[in-house]
Structure 1
Amino acid sequence: FGLAFFHATIQERRKFGPLGWNIRYEFNNSDIECSMMTLHMFLEEQETISFEALSYVIGEINYGGRVTDDLDRRCLLSILRQYIQPEALHDTYRFSSSGKYYAPEEGALEDVRTYIKGLPMAEGPEVFGMHDNANMAFQINEAKVLLERVLNMQPRVGGGEGGKTPDEVVYELAQNIFENLPAVLNPEEAGEATFATNDEGMMTSLAVVLSQEMVRFIRLQKRLKSSLVELQKAIKGFVVMSGELETMYQSLLNNQVPVMWSSVGYPCLKPLASWINDFHARVDFFRRWMEHAEMPCYWLPGFFFPQGFLTGVLQTFARKYAIPIDTLNFGFDVLKEERAEEILAAPEDGVYVDGLFVDGGRWNAEGHHLDESEPGVMQSAMPIVHFLPEQKPLEDLFRPKRQDEYQTPLYKTSVRAGILSTTGQSTNFVLCVLLPIRANTTPDFWVQQGLALLCMLDT
């Protein structure tokens, strides 16, 4: 019964989107049938049941064979541990905190059917180990899909008498965006120490990261300028409205970021108006870094490739202390300061990072630990975090040594899923941030809550 309940749980968990699974997996009847056969074999052929071996075969092979994301595999094994354990054989064991869900006592088949029919028709998030806010996430996702479909069905016609035509709306918007674009980043305007080289002719690791990020932003800035000029010409009839310009026209009309921009841009789920503001903030951040050579606090969400920046931080530490970089990992310390403006000087080692958000939970500043979300609050801001390189082994994602800390995954966007890279990680995944958790909870509790850190919100 527990195995069947597990199968139903991981299936229904998909409706919560990224809070449930990073990737939507198609678990099917063959998985449960194969696992039932495995369970039967263990019961018939083994004198004593090895729950660890049973969990490995079911979680890592039967179901885990479909799971391509390591963080999803961690979640799968965490859920399975609820059902494949010695305590699950006791009649008093419950599958959820409410006590409504449990394996009925051994008896007649009709009694089991009666119990199942008596279960709530609409199961709450608690049966999945999730916060009540997860229902909000599900409803918001459904509403977004509906509104997007309605928006795509809107005809391209003018409004009532005196209203602007779509051509006028898009032309004015394109003109406004173009006129307010920030100046293109120019390496020649950098401070004297920004790209300074040492005796061997090498720039600092962070200077290399800055130069690479500037190249990406310059390319994006040029794309914005050229496409906006071409679109305005096409609307006026001076050039042919190509397929790309037509798609861009429709995106601007619907307050969406054109594919022509996002194809050379950074991962972002914001609507067009918020995207433009975010773009200005990113360019401003890199302009200040370029002028001052070093920042007291770094805005991690502003990077095209935050993984490259963090590697640069490790390399800086490795060169300073002559330590092999492959022996270094990050330690983390959450500060009391909440805004970058409160940081007056950079740390001696490592970097201060701001701009992160907690998704599916919150940071309890008083207790200095992760905590459950407030009712109705899906995301909350994270204080400044000190990323400090340390010479220590990386924590095992699946078997953490410490039960008072949670390896919190950090993602670029709330979708969490990305393209599977050669490292076996999603390109949306940055790294795991080790954070203290509330007393009397375990890492498995937070894994099932779907708690993660984000570089940006969707609004």
Structure 2
Amino acid sequence: MPRLEQICENFTPDNTTRDFRLWCTTYPSPVFPVSVLQNGVKMTIEPPKGLKANLTGSFSTPPIADEGFLDSCGKGVLFRKLLFSLCLFHALLQERRLFGPLGWNIPYGFNASDLEISIQQLRMFLDENESVPFAALKYCVGACNYGGRVTDAKDRRTLNSILDRFFNDGVVAVDNFSLSESGIYTIPPSAETLEDFLAWIEALPLVAEPEIFGFHENANITKDAKETNTLFATILLTEGGGSSGGASSNADDAITSTATEILNKVPAEFDIEAARVKYPVRRDESMNTVLVQELGKFNNLTKLIKSSLISVIRACKGEVVMTGELEKFGHALEIGAIPSAWKTKSYPSFKSCAAYVADLLARLEFFGTWLEDKPPNSYWISAFFFSHAFFTASKQNLARKDAIPIDALGFRYEMVPPAASAEPPTVGVYGYGLFFEAARWDGDAKLLKDSYPKVLFSPAPLMLFEPKKIDRICHPPGCYSCPVYKTGDRRGVLATTGHSTNFIMDILVPSDKPESHWIQRGTALLSQLD
């Protein structure tokens, strides 16, 4: 691998950006991304964009481009097949970042050094063993070289699932082995020289279809939407802060109007004392405690919303000083974003301000009905600030009733028709309000199916969460362990459990396809949409 000084030794301030981008294509970055200072110019080198360009870069740089390297292994044919498969695997991991949370919950900086050490290990393992030691290779590549960067448990599952597709017996035993469903991406059947590989890569499509990544065709829409949102967010950041007096007056009027409208919609706080009287702490009903805790959190949020709206209205009228914090608050209302001040006491949300307020009012109505009437037959899972407490309480009722340690309990999941919620279940709870991303539920077949074209999200059915002893839970074969997240971003702070704080739980969903199919598609359940 050439050092950065070698890559950039001829770079001067007179070179154009286009010249430098061409060098970046020829020499993939050994660190992703990396900033270097050369002749007083700071440059950031990133991997070539596109699967084809990434493969070309891998086969155009050392060690693969070194003379005689392709023949340096005693098992030349096997080595060349697995080498191409490994390079395609490397390119695929880097390109999945473009698809946002569908690709990785957390974007990782996989780089050329990961590929280089994997190539050296591949050659060493082939030279030292009569047969291909796939288990050892997968461990070194998937758990150490690339997996060492992965911090999210679900991302690690995705990486290993992809690796299984590129490191298997078919790659070495079948000529022209297909690495994608369409058959476009295959192992070169007779490539022996570097020129053969480059010619094979040159014949690949310039733009890679989502199927090579394991995605549904809808993934292109997700990728384009992500890029568009990033562009508009960047444009908003470049918006100037200065304005004329007339424009400022118009902005103040718009902020006042928006703030007043929201203020009139937000209801009064819940009566916590009345809630504690009606739903006291009881050993046999842990859900009472969850309700009171949720009402307290929503009271804190609504108090903050009201006080901040009143303050910004008074500031726009000139009754109080327009501080920098209030100015940022008003600007957020003006562009339709959730004010950052609200996020300190709010549940996670990436909605616009109008959609956030509508969602908040719906949650308040759900808990208000529960408080005034009785516990619902089915629960809106998305309404809870802390849904983990809701699921824990549903298990705790059974644990206390039957004197079972709560750690010994799990959930049996069942998709049920909407009519089932006419009465509450004997054991457990009914839950609704989740959405499938990158999949849909087929109510007739009662199986998880691929999404319809151009339909990114589909509602999940009513679900029964039945707590049972873990050793007695029986699910039908072929279920997909589908992760449930609070938001579509899927990313959160890494908790001590090894999961993201955005992660809620895994739900087993019946499927007639292998689990790897849904893992590589990035299929998940979301409690709310953006």
TM-score range, shorter chain: over 0.9
Are residues 1:391 and 2:469 paired? Answer: yes
Partner AA of 1:91 in structure 2: D
Q: Structure 1 length normalisation: TM-score? A: 0.92
Q: Name the counterpart of 2:298.
A: 217
Structure number with greater Rg is: 2
The answer to whether the aligner puts 1:408 opposite 2:482 as a matched pair is yes
Equivalent position of 2:327 in the other structure: 246
**TM alignment of 1:127-276, pairs within 5 A:** 127-154=212-239, 165-190=250-275, 193-195=278-280, 197=282, 202=283, 204-276=285-357
| 1:67 CA displacement | 0.3
- The separation in 1 between residues aligned to 2:382 and 2:527, in whole angstroms, is 5
Distance 1:163 1:237, change over 3 A: closer
| Residues 434, 527 of structure 2: 8 Å contact kept | yes
Counterpart of 1:378 (choices 456, 465, 468) is 456
Partner of 1:445: 517
Offset of residue 47 of structure 1: 2.7
2:471 and 2:353 map into 1 onto residues whose CA distance is: 42
Give the equivalent residue in structure 1 for 2:493: 419
Segments of structure 2 that go 5 or more residues without pairing to the other structure are 1-83
Q: Within 1, Cα distance between the matches of 2:185 and 2:87?
A: 13
Which has the higher relative contact order, 1 or 2, with Cα contacts under 8 A spaced 6 or more apart?
Answer: 1
Pick from 109, 117, 120 the counterpart of residue 34 of structure 1: 117
Match of 1:55? 138
- What is the CA-CA distance between 1:94 and the residue it aligns to? 0.5
1:76 deviates by 0.1
Note the aligned Cα RMSD (angstroms): 2.2
Instruction: Return the offset for 1:378.
Output: 0.2
Q: CA deviation at 1:282?
A: 0.8
Give 1:451's aligned amino acid. T
Report Cα offsets for 1:370-409 as digits up to 9, x if no partner: 10010000001111111111211599xxxxx986110000
Identify the range of structure 1 (238-247 vs 58-67) with the bigger mean alpha-carbon deviation. 238-247
Partner Cα distance (1:163, 1:248) in 2? 15
Counterpart residue number, 2:4 = none
Aligned partner of 1:77 in structure 2 is 160
- Contact kept, 8 Å, 2:432 with 2:463, in 1: the verdict is yes
The equivalent residue for 1:298 is: 379
Amino acid at match of 1:8: A
The answer for the alignment partner of 2:105 in structure 1 is 22
Deviations 1:118-152 (A, max 9, x none): 10000000000110000000001111112223334
Unaligned residue ranges in structure 1 (runs of 5+): 396-400
- Partners of 1:427 and 1:153 lie apart in 2 by 31
Q: What is the one-letter code of the residue matched to 2:340?
A: V
Matched-pair contact (CA < 8 Å) for 1:194–1:291: no
Match of 2:507 among 430, 433, 443: 433
CA contact under 8 A between 2:284 and 2:401: conserved in structure 1? no
Instruction: Write the deviation string for residues 204-251 of structure 1: whole angstroms up to 9, x where unpaired.
Output: 311111111111111111101111111111111221222221111110
Tell me the CA shift for residue 290 of structure 1: 2.0
Residue 111 of structure 1 and its aligned partner are, at CA, apart by: 2.0
Q: Tell me, in whole angstroms, the C-alpha distance in 2 between the residues paired with 1:315 and 1:163.
A: 56
Conserved in 2, the CA contact under 8 Å of 1:300 and 1:354? yes
Q: How many angstroms apart in 2 are the aligned matches of 1:106 and 1:315?
A: 62
In 2, the alpha carbon distance for the partners of 1:314 and 1:235 equals 50
TM-score by length of 2: 0.80
1:121 equivalenced with 2:198 (yes/no): no
- Tell me the secondary structure at the aligned position of residue 334 of structure 1: strand
State, as a whole percentage, how many aligned pairs show the same letter: 40
When structure 1 is superposed on structure 2, of 187-196 and 129-138 the one drifting more is 187-196
> Aligned partners of 1:67, 1:149: CA distance in 2, in Å?
28
Q: CA deviation at 1:172?
A: 1.1
> Which residue type is aligned with residue 408 of structure 1?
C
Matches within 5 A, 1:259-408: 259-337=340-418, 343-392=421-470, 404-408=478-482
Give the Å deviation of 1:196: 5.3
